[in-house]
Amino acid sequence: MTDLKKVALVTGGGAGMGKATSLRLARDGMAVGVLDIDGDAADAVARQIVESGGKAVALKADISDRSQVETAVATLRAALGPVTVLINNAAIENFCPFPDIREDVWDRVMAVNLKGNYFLIQTVLPDMIAAGWGRVVNLSAFGAQLGAPNMALYTATKGAMISMTRSLAVELGARGITVNSVSPGFIDTPMARRAIDGDLFPVPYQDIVANYPVPRLGKPEEIAAACAFFASDDAAYVTGQVLGVNGGAAM
């Protein structure tokens, strides 16, 4: 049965980990706002949820634009109710040697991967405060914890997400709002496949995953499962945590 008291907003929900998380939260009984800069992709995921008996609405927005974020959240509230679960998944990648990073690229990646999440949290926070219950799950990255070649810009944004997660957990815990982070390892997503196809890693990806305790690419559904736990009532006493879903690569 859908619990309409729990309305989730999943950014980057049209593909990869965002799509898997949207479908998982819907299966767990939440109504879902599927937000993506690709409106057609968001429509397809929302339609899949509705056709499976769930409740969902597709939302198109560039999260680096506060006005688009506010419009999308207002649309979701009007359609499904106040937003009490936020999955900050949307991000853009960047592979570039540090000396070659252009300032305009730096600004764009920061605007989407960090500033956009600030816009989203601020916009939905009044709903969570009013409910006395909320779940924020920020997607970070394995590379932000260990480092990654030619990814200083991308990992900088994801490291900032970890820091923001911990500080917000301290600030919001007494209001019934938990804030946690899922840190994906090498997950088989469209973003990862673009990097593989573009030969952007220093060694073949098979050589990278061969050294993991679980020697394979992760599945988007495995990230979705971690997000679903943090979004659940079972995680009420868990906040400020970073959960690595990475096949044991950080051991």
Domain contains 188: yes
pLDDT reported for residue 2: 41
**Could you report the per-residue pLDDT of 107-135, keeping only the tens digit for each?**
999 999 999 999 999 999 999 999 999 99
In a domain, 250, yes or no: no
pLDDT at 251 (0 to 100): 58
Spell out the per-residue pLDDT of the chain, length 251, in tens: 344 469 999 999 999 999 999 999 999 999 999 999 999 999 999 999 999 999 999 999 999 999 999 999 999 999 999 999 999 999 999 999 999 999 999 999 999 999 999 999 999 999 999 999 999 999 999 999 989 889 999 999 999 999 999 999 999 999 999 999 999 999 998 888 888 888 888 778 888 889 899 999 999 999 999 999 999 999 999 999 999 999 998 75
- What is the domain count for the chain? 1
Residue pLDDT, tens place only, 174-202: 999 999 999 999 999 888 888 888 888 87
Domain assignment of residue 227, given as a range: 7-245
Res 1: pLDDT: 33
- Is 154 catalytic? The answer is yes
With contact defined as beta carbons under 8 Å apart, do 235 and 135 qualify? yes
Please report whether residue 251 resides in a domain: no
Examine residue 191 and state whether it is found in any structural domain, yes or no: yes
Catalytic-labelled residue, pool 118, 154, 212, 237: 154
Within a domain: 1: no
**How many C-beta atoms lie closer than 10 Å to residue 68's C-beta?**
18
Q: What is the spatial distance between Cα 171 and Cα 232, in angstroms, rounded to a whole number?
A: 20
Would you say residue 49 lies in a domain? Answer: yes
Q: With left for phi above 0 and alpha for psi between -120 and 50, is residue 120 left, alpha or beta?
A: alpha
Residue 2 domain-assigned (yes or no): no
Please give the helix or strand (H or E) that residue 209 lies within, else none: helix 205-209
Quote the pLDDT of residue 103: 98
Question: Is 85 a member of any domain?
Answer: yes
The CATH number for 71's domain is 3.40.50.720
* Residue 25, token pair as written in the block: 């939260």
User: What secondary structure letter does DSSP report for 114?
Assistant: I
Kindly give, in sequence order, each residue whose CB lies less than 8 Å from that of residue 56, ignoring residues fewer than 6 positions away: 22, 26, 31, 32, 33, 34, 45, 46, 47, 49, 50
